Amino acid sequence: MNSKNKNIDSSSEDDAKVYETLTKLPPANELMPRKLTIDIDVKSLYPLKSLPQFNQFYSTFIEETQNIQYPAETIQQEERTLLEYFEENKQNLIYKRFDQLDLSKRSPNERTYFSTLFANFKKQYPRVYFRGDPLFDQKLMPCQPDQLKFDSNFESGNLFCAFKRAENVYDLILQNDINTRGNTQWFFFSVTGAKAGQTVQFNLLNHLKSNSLFNEGLQPAIYSVKENEIDRTEWRRGGFNINYFKSPFIKEYHQTMRAKYYQLRFSYTFKHNNDKVYFAHSYPYTYTNLLEFLNSILINSEKNQYITRKSLCTTLGGNTCEVLTITSNSMQRRAYRKGVVFMARQHPGEPQGSYVMQGIIEYLTSNNPQAEYLRQNCIFKIFPMMNSDGVVNGNYRCGLEGSDLNRRWKKPNKYLHPTVYYAKKYIKGFSKERQIILVIDLHGHSRKQSSFVYGCAYSSQVKTIERVFALLMAKMNPFMDYSSCTFRVESSKDKTARIQIWRELKINWVYTYECSFYGQQKKHFSIQDYINCGISICNSLSQIVKDTSKEFTNQTNVPDIQQQILEELGKMPQTDDQDQGSDTSQSDAELSDDEIVQLFQPKTYSLKQKNFIKQLDSKKKQITTKQTLITQKNSILQESPSKNYQQQQDNKIPLSNQKPKNVTYRIPPHVKLRQIEPIKEQSQPIMVDKSSQTDDWMYRQWLIQIGKQKKQEEYLSQTPTRNIYKSSSQSATRFIVKNTSKIDRGRVDSISLVNSGQQKTSFSQQRQIMRYSGSNFMY
């Protein structure tokens, strides 16, 4: 019975019980035992240093604009790899990551990918090693007093090594995503040892993408520890002489995939002596920041009554993927509440999604009247960080398994992609409980300005229901540009969360929400701007929820918001919906599925590989059983040698003439396939008194026991597991098969029917003899 067709008074207690029975969903506070805080236990493949307490408060945003111009240095255009560059400049190496760790070296037959960290998951603890012995063996240059010191051994850091090319000029190489060939776009490192007023040029040599917003005015994010101590300045944008161009270095791929890297160059003037300055692509948001933020919500007595947390699964790196539920504790109209799903950080190098998610959580747990209205009419399921392993280890796009999680939603692997597998299963179960009206996946964009969405629509017409909520968000959010939105279902994006959820669950409003790394109209976004984007999404949702819940209120004269937006969409010009951005096809830098499987335990093997391994194990068991029979026979003959045996040796009578030709029993291959139960191990032959019995008698006893074993093996191999009773007849021997497990009428079991002393009958004659008797078949 559908609860929507019932006209129920939501205030009665009886109806509240009906709602709970229909939805099978207990109140929000009973989803899991109440725990005020989350244990901050960040697990990485290697030891990490602690970071400063970023973003404790939001100060006025500072955007530096310096017009200092330095002459551009000429670049040698000789094509070479990063490994060749290292061989030429290894005497200038001043920093390499994991220098103090005991890392295993690669084997000689493995292909070298410079600046790649590989983690072998076949053991209980991942075996971490580099592909590139020269970097592993190279000693660092002695540090000079006036020399800069680099570091990235902290959460989300990814500087692999640094070289001092000239005075105040440093070449930096970024670490590839773990278990991949590349995916280098995100950067995060620290510098110490500079003097006040010293200007330094940084060259990041191995970026992945061919175009970037750095050429349109984007500046790196900078955090100074001393400035924070003086005037509490948080992250800001800074740097000058910023250029993004093609690098002379070639990627270490196969010949068909060879291409050049891209290089980022910027300069920065330090303001304080002995200061520690952090540089990043955008404002970092680590896994520790998320856990601290959730703890601040959970210990707040006003907010924790609306939110509950639950552990979705454990990642490959041992971290926990959290799922949050936000709704009202009241039971009124609980059965009619709509479902809303938010998720973020599938790509770990896009921290904008976490700030937008933080704005959503802060708003939904606040005392705002619109937030209270949403809690009473919606149940929110929130996945705040889908790829916590990648965030911890400094990846840009992939997880520890070396694949893009946003390209694994079609058929996620339970062991390789646990967060995607269980999140998809969780969302499907949630859709069976109630109607899901909105799903948003939060990302960051490195090539376009403003914020926008990717949507799904079969038709290219602008007046479609899939575009309604996108246009409403653009009206409510000053940082969103509707003209940048696209609504297409492309084959290259078929495995993304957006398309798979839209296709399988038939939800109209499924979006990938993109926030620019830069900003809008060549003005940088601040952290508060990203948080405001999340608040604007909730405000837009409240308008839609009010529009869809008019049947439960008296607002019959209020105009339909969706109809108004559809009419406005019909007046807009037709667009081609073409876009190139971060929501594109799978990167060539990722490993193939065969290469990924080699890094993980056998439980992640395919079905064909598992069957092949079982066949090898069965062959080994058969060989061992044959060897045990031979050793038993030899042990009996060698323990009591007799006079007859000595005479046979003297007369040179071969003992093999007195033995049967086939001592060991060989099971035919067609009987092996019919075996249902494994052959039970038989007890060892009974030893006899060798002083009173002759050797020939002992050998005959051994043959008798071997014959008994053969008969037992034939019986177990040629008969099914069901109870079989034999009855005599004049014409033939018949078997009555009794099904002891359950009655299964109409199915003929595959058993071998044996005729006693008669010629083999034809197939048609056998069908005439067989007759059906209740739950048994008789022959």
Rounded distance between C-alpha atoms, residue 537 and residue 533, angstroms? 6
Query: For residue 206, what is the DSSP state?
Result: E
550-562 burial, b at 16+ Cβ within 10 Å, e below that, comes to: eeeeeeeeeeeee
Closest CA to 424 of 353, 492, 360, 504: 504
Rounded distance between C-alpha atoms, residue 469 and residue 543, angstroms? 10
Closest CA to 535 of 332, 366, 713, 773: 366
67 HSE (CA, 13 A, CB side): 0
Closest CA to 329 of 368, 292, 360, 302: 302
Angle (nearest 5°) at CA 492 between 486 and 495: 95
**Exposed/middle/buried for 516, CB within 10 Å: 0-12, 13-18, 19+?**
buried
Length of the chain: 779
Joined tokens for residue 595:
């290469």
596-617 burial, b at 16+ Cβ within 10 Å, e below that, comes to: bbebbeeebeeeeeeeeeeeee
Neighbours of 81 (CB within 10 A): 17
What DSSP string describes 73-91?
PP-----EEHHHHHHHHGG
Residue 326 bridge partners (DSSP): 307, 380
Q: What stretch of H or E contains 431?
A: helix 418-433
Which CA distances in Å does 289 have to 237, 384, 415, 536?
A: 20, 11, 27, 23
Q: What stretch of H or E contains 607?
A: helix 607-639
- Edge to edge, the sheet with strand 199-207 lists 80-81, 240-250, 260-269, 199-207, 169-174, 159-166, 93-96
Radius of gyration of the chain (CA): 36
Query: For residue 470, what is the DSSP state?
Result: H
Is the four-CA dihedral 439, 31, 315, 446 of positive or negative sign? positive
Closest CA to 497 of 311, 341, 286: 341
Joined tokens for residue 60:
């006025």
Backbone angles phi, psi at 311, to 5 degrees: -80, 115
Q: Which residue matches tokens 């409403």?
A: 472
What DSSP string describes 38-57?
-------SS--BPPP-TTSS
Closest CA to 377 of 333, 435, 411, 346: 333
Identity at 17, one-letter amino acid code = K
Q: Which residues contact 131 (CB under 8 A, 6 or more apart)?
A: 106, 110, 111, 112, 113, 114, 116, 118
Helical spans, DSSP H, in 549-606: 561-570, 593-597
Residues acting as catalytic residues = 514
Which CA distances in Å does 270 have to 171, 197, 233?
A: 18, 5, 15
Rounded distance between C-alpha atoms, residue 157 and residue 279, angstroms? 10
Q: Would you give the distance in Å from CA 607 to the centre of its chain?
A: 20
Joined tokens for residue 737:
């098969």
